[in-house]
Amino acid sequence: MNLTIGLLYLVSAVLFILGMKRLSSPETARSGNLISAAGMFIAIVSTIPLLSGVTGKSAFHHHLLNYILIIAGILIGLIIGALGAYLVKMTAIPQMVALFNGVGGGAAALVATMEFLTHAHHPGTISSSFAITMLFASFIGSISFTGSLIAFGKLQGLIERPITYPLQKIVNGIILFGIVLLGIYLAGIAHNPVIFGWFFIISLLFGVLMVLPIGGADMPVIISFLNSFTGIAVAADGFTINNVAMIIGGTLVGSSGTLLTILMCKAMNRSITNVLFGAFGKVATKTSPSASIKDQNVKPITADDVAVMLAYAQLVIIVPGYGLAVAQAQHQVRELEIELEKRGVDVKYAIHPVAGRMPGHMNVLLAEANVPYDRLYEMDQINPEFKRADVVLVIGANDVVNPAARNSPGSPIYGMPILDVEQAKQTIVLKRSMNPGFAGIENELFYKPNTRMLFGDAKDSVSKLVNEVKKIK
Amino acid sequence: MTGSTVGLFLFYIFIMAIFVGFEVISKVPVILHTPLMSGTNAIHGIILIGGILVLASASSLLAFIFGFIAVVFGSINVFGGFMVTNRMLEMFKRKKK
């Protein structure tokens, strides 16, 4: 690596850091992303002079096919990436991020694999520590690849509830142990390509097995977790091919992704081990809250009644959830907010840290509908206000308002911080049906004396509310 | 520099980058967690460089196939990642008028 390339890599590293820094404020976030993209562009372009250096031969025509394939590969990736990024619906963004992360992990695993196989042809060219780095990158990248694909399948609804089987943890433990043994053999005894092939395949399998038992509600944490995995794998690849830009880029993602994963777990009051091994959402599917609650019926309500309550309220708090996102009801909700404000009603949005499918997902959707930032309140800010609220509209949210998190120690979500919706004078739950939420847990809130259910598609229901509120003179 | 000092130097950079990664996002508000995850996801697309470098030196059929897939994957990661992040953030911008 010559001085110019080194300095250009330094520039791109600085741009990555500045970009991530600017991503931490709504005003500068967009420019932050563009700055990171500029850093990426510089890093990739300044790599071009290295191409001849890698082969040791500078003759361009010797490697014409290689260069054609590089350009074709980049173009194909560009087209697929652009189509994916611009055609995906806003609600499906979490699974799109999972896919983009997965392919990154796959690329990291392949790069490490190829490095290993190349060196295996020339015995004695790698030290054990280098071999370990390659094996590590291949292992972590493979997990990230197949794990992200499973996460995609779960968020897309292709794979339903967590898949568990007897002795699952023991089987996974044995497989992990087998991978470690193969790794030790490959690094210390013989750089055998066939054994390495098995190492690679079993690592891919392990990624599948690791994510299968994890419930859909925990997928955001898993995506963040695998995102940092890919970062670490990329950094390890950077060590094996001596590329400082990859080390810095990968490490930045690895460490920030780890922090983000921890923050997300904290928001749910769970540990990462509990998320990984808890099979969350499985056990709970059939446990009902308690017989006394089960005996009660839910109390449905009509849109015109809700409209009257809303129109004469002083403070209305809206709790948006994934159901709102699925129904694409954010614009109607904004319309309702405007109508209520015209009548002097104070409208606030209560955003649970894990509302939607990812932290911040709900904010993105409401921003799309032009809801001002200052109406969005985080959990700690809004919880003391529920007492004052005349009406709380729970739109397509379920687990984040489930009192079981506070009251029933046996519940799988026990201990998760929730929005104190039940303290409000009146709670209206907009829901499609009585099916339990994504985590598969019954919700006592629906049976409380001051809760009414407005059944139907969130978009239709909110549209009706808007019309009814308009009619009230 | 000898081989081992280069390795040590890279290791220094690695350790520093860990701290920078932690520090730089420690004050991110919850509302930006999704864009941040997506934005950092795009940054690890720098693996594209690795894919390009190994494909450039490929000579066997297996290396061509693996290298080509690595480049396509890395390229999807980079372009898709930045574009989807930009699309998310555009929504934040439009409403600030």
Tens digit of each residue's pLDDT (9 = 90 or more) over A171-222: 888 999 999 999 988 888 887 888 899 999 999 999 999 998 887 778 888 9
Q: Answer yes or no: do B73 and A106 touch at CB < 8 A.
A: yes
State the Cα–Cα distance between residues A277 and A292, nearest whole angstrom. Answer: 32
pLDDT-derived band of residue A124, with 50, 70 and 90 as boundaries? low
Name the DSSP letter for residue A428.
E
Residue A225: the pLDDT is 93
pLDDT-derived band of residue A287, with 50, 70 and 90 as boundaries? very low
Residue of A nearest to B66 (CA): A110
For chains A and B, CB pairs below 8 A equal 372
Residue A16: the pLDDT is 95
Torsion from C-alpha of A262, A268, A270, A272, nearest 10 degrees: -40
Tens digit of each residue's pLDDT (9 = 90 or more) over A153-177: 988 878 767 777 778 888 888 999 9
Which residue has tokens 């934005």? B39
Rg of chain A in Å (alpha carbons): 26
Beta bridge pairs of residue A318: A349, A393
Q: Write the residue in A43, A264, A376 that is nearest to B46 by C-beta.
A: A43
Residue of A nearest to B10 (CA): A244
Residue of B nearest to A92 (CA): B84
Residue numbers of B between 32 and 51 with CB closer than 8 Å to A: 32-51
Q: Answer yes or no: do B35 and A267 touch at CB < 8 A.
A: no
pLDDT-derived band of residue A50, with 50, 70 and 90 as boundaries? confident
Task: Give the residue numbers of A marked as catalytic.
Answer: 399
> pLDDT at residue B94 above 80?
no
CA distance B40 to chain A (A): 6
User: How many other β-carbons are positioned within 10 Å of the β-carbon of residue A472?
Assistant: 13
Q: Over chain B, what is the mean pLDDT?
A: 86
Residue B75: the pLDDT is 97
CA distance A293 to chain B (A): 34
Q: Answer yes or no: do A29 and B63 touch at CB < 8 A.
A: no
State the Cα–Cα distance between residues A353 and A256, nearest whole angstrom. Answer: 18
Mean pLDDT of B61-89: 93
Which residue has tokens 């446990």? A287
From chain B, pick out residues whose CB is under 8 angstroms from the CB of A40: 42-43, 45-46, 78, 82
Q: Please tell me which of A224-238, A355-369, A392-406 the model is most confident about, judged by mean pLDDT.
A: A224-238
Tens digit of each residue's pLDDT (9 = 90 or more) over A267-276: 766 778 877 7
Question: Chain A within 8 Å of B12 (Cβ-Cβ)?
Answer: no
A55/A106: higher pLDDT:
A106
Q: Answer yes or no: do A70 and B25 touch at CB < 8 A.
A: no
* ipTM passes above 0.90: yes
State the Cα–Cα distance between residues A257 and A377, nearest whole angstrom. Answer: 25
From chain A, pick out residues whose CB is under 8 angstroms from the CB of B58: 66, 114
Residue of A nearest to B60 (CA): A118
CA B54 distance to own-chain centroid: 17
State the Cα–Cα distance between residues A358 and A356, nearest whole angstrom. Answer: 6
Q: Answer yes or no: do A40 and B82 touch at CB < 8 A.
A: yes
From chain A, pick out residues whose CB is under 8 angstroms from the CB of B27: 24
Tens digit of each residue's pLDDT (9 = 90 or more) over B35-52: 889 999 999 999 999 999
Long-range contacts of the stretch A82-89 (C-beta < 8 A, 24+): A82/B79, A82/B80, A82/B83, A84/B76, A84/B80, A84/B84, A85/B79, A85/B80, A85/B81, A85/B83, A85/B84, A85/B87, A86/B83, A86/B87, A88/B84, A89/A328
From chain A, pick out residues whose CB is under 8 angstroms from the CB of B79: 77-78, 81-82, 85
A58/A304: higher pLDDT:
A304
Q: Contact, A49 vs B52, CB < 8 A?
A: no
Pick from A34, A65, A148, A255 the residue to mutate for testing the B interface (most B CBs within 10 Å).
A255
Residue of B nearest to A231 (CA): B44
pLDDT-derived band of residue B8, with 50, 70 and 90 as boundaries? confident
Three-state secondary structure readout of A293-313: HHHCCCCECCHHHHHHHHHCC
Question: Chain A within 8 Å of B23 (Cβ-Cβ)?
Answer: no
Q: Write the residue in B31, B40, B62 that is nearest to A363 by C-beta.
A: B31
Q: Contact, A323 vs A397, CB < 8 A?
A: yes
pTM here is: 0.80
Question: Chain A within 8 Å of B8 (Cβ-Cβ)?
Answer: no
CA distance B8 to chain A (A): 11
How many residues are there in chain B?
97
CA distance A451 to chain B (A): 29
